[in-house]
């Protein structure tokens, strides 16, 4: 997508917005009791959080709700196809999936969801094509601004959209949210992340969630 060069004022504004997105995860963590012991990277909630209701759409325009998390370990990535950090996160998601080859049941249960923040400039076909480059099983989500704000707030993510069309700028947090097979938010993978530590944490959690 074509983007106009930013003026000095716009660059300053974008920097401020970016800092807000960067520290959004920190303030989210300060509002919750976070547990990191026993995990390599996961910033886990001391008590998994039931998500409030929201109304999102799947990549074919079908309704997507809390029930669609059920029976999956869900990695939720927030971004848009023209975001370099989104490309990095989706590449990481591929590496995580590959790292679970020695745990085939968990690998099969893993669901990677990409919440597109730029539905104004990218249609669902374009987003699906973008995701297929990484893994054809990755799923796209989108929604109106109100529901995007509701859902991202529920999972501890932040974003800010300024301008429209060619002047649109989107800044977003880069944490990856983890939602358990019972639909509750477990926590965030944030900071310096890598496939080895995340896949190891997923295996640890899967063992904890096994029915006795």
Q: What CATH number is attached to the domain comprising 127? A: 3.40.30.10
Helix, strand, coil percentages in the chain from 3-state DSSP, rounded to 5:
40, 25, 35
Task: Say how many domains are in the chain.
Answer: 1
Domain residues for the domain of 158 are: 8-208
Does 42 reside within a domain? yes
Is the CB of residue 96 less than 8 Å from the CB of residue 88?
no
Average pLDDT over the chain, rounded to an integer? 85
Q: For residue 10, what pLDDT is reported?
A: 45
40 inside domain = yes
pLDDT, residue 42, reads: 95
**Cβ neighbours of residue 119 under 8 Å, at least 6 residues apart?**
142, 143
In a domain, 126, yes or no: yes
Domain presence at residue 203: yes
Q: Which tens digits make up the pLDDT trace of 2-34? A: 343 444 544 444 444 444 444 444 445 555 577
Model's pTM, two decimal places?
A: 0.84
CA dihedral of residues 162, 31, 156, 1 (deg, nearest 10): 20
Residue 161 lies in a domain: yes
**151 falls within a domain:** yes
Percentage of the residues of the chain whose pLDDT score is greater than 70 = 84
pLDDT digits (tens, 9 = 90+) for 33-60: 777 778 999 999 999 999 999 999 998 9
């Amino acid at each position: 997508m074509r983007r106009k060069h930013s003026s000095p004022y716009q660059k300053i504004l974008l920097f401020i917005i970016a800092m807000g997105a960067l520290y959004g995860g920190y303030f989210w963590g300060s509002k919750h009791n976070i547990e990191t012991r026993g995990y390599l990277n996961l910033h886990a909630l001391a008590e998994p959080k039931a998500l409030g209701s929201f109304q999102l759409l799947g990549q074919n325009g079908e309704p997507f709700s809390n029930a669609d998390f059920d029976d999956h370990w869900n990695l939720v990535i927030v971004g848009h196809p023209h975001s370099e950090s989104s490309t990095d996160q989706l590449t990481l998601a591929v590496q995580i999936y590959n790292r679970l080859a020695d745990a085939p049941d968990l690998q099969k249960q893993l669901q990677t969801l990409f919440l597109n923040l730029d539905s104004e400039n990218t249609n669902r076909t374009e987003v699906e094509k973008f995701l297929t480059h990484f893994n054809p099983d990755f799923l796209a989500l989108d929604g109106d601004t109100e529901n995007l704000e509701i859902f991202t707030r529920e999972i501890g993510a932040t974003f800010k959209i300024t301008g429209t069309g060619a002047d649109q700028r989107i800044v977003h947090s880069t944490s990856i949210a983890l939602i358990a097979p019972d639909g509750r938010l477990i926590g965030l993978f944030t900071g310096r992340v890598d496939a080895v530590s995340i896949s190891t944490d997923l295996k640890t959690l899967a063992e904890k969630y096994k029915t006795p």
